[in-house]
Amino acid sequence: MALIVVTPGIAIQESELDESFVLSTGPGGQNVNKLATAVQLRFDVAHSSSLPDAVRTRLMRLAGSRLTKEGVLVLTAREYRSQERNREAARTRLIELIRHAAVEPKPRKKTRPPKAAKERRLDAKSRRGKLKRGRSRVPDE
């Protein structure tokens, strides 16, 4: 069983990937009409034993519309004229997506603006208000 190493801690078995080849559009002349060069790569994210739970959750969020209701990630590659290059492109995209999901986001630290910054902002607002009030017409008395 061949393993696809994604990160030092994550490796996917090739048996978890399902590849199907479909007719492609774009350049290629008559080759386009004869051969199925586009690749549809399917990876069952929801039931994969290779992914840790945290990575699985982030990957499902990252996948967006490429994820089916059943939790299967579908990637289509049709950039190249050859089946093999499209297959490689789809696998590379999958690996990059999983690597991106494997990076744990840094927790946000709540911060507050300093008191001096608040005072500068309020001072600037009041100066601007005075300037605008000075533009108004003075009523005749």
Domain residue ranges of the chain, discontinuous segments joined by +: 3-102
- CATH number of this structure's domain 3-102, picked from the four choices 3.40.50.10090, 3.40.50.300, 3.10.129.10, 3.30.160.20: 3.30.160.20
- Are the CB atoms for 37 and 31 separated by under 8 Å? yes
Rounded CA separation 73/106 (Å): 25
Query: Of residues 66 and 129, which shows the higher confidence score?
Result: 129
Q: Could you read off the pLDDT of 87-137 as tens digits, one per residue?
A: 889 889 888 888 888 888 899 999 999 999 999 999 999 999 999 988 987
- 17-31, 34-48, 50-64: least confidently modelled range: 17-31
Sign of the Cα pseudo-torsion (126, 132, 136, 138, in order): positive
Q: How many CB atoms lie within 10 A of CB 31?
A: 12
Other CB atoms within a 10 A radius of the CB of residue 68 amount to 14
25-38 mean pLDDT: 70
Q: Using alpha carbons, list the distances in angstroms from residue 98 to 12, 41, 44, 46.
A: 10, 14, 13, 13
For residues 10 and 39, give the distance between their C-alpha atoms in angstroms, rounded to a whole number.
24
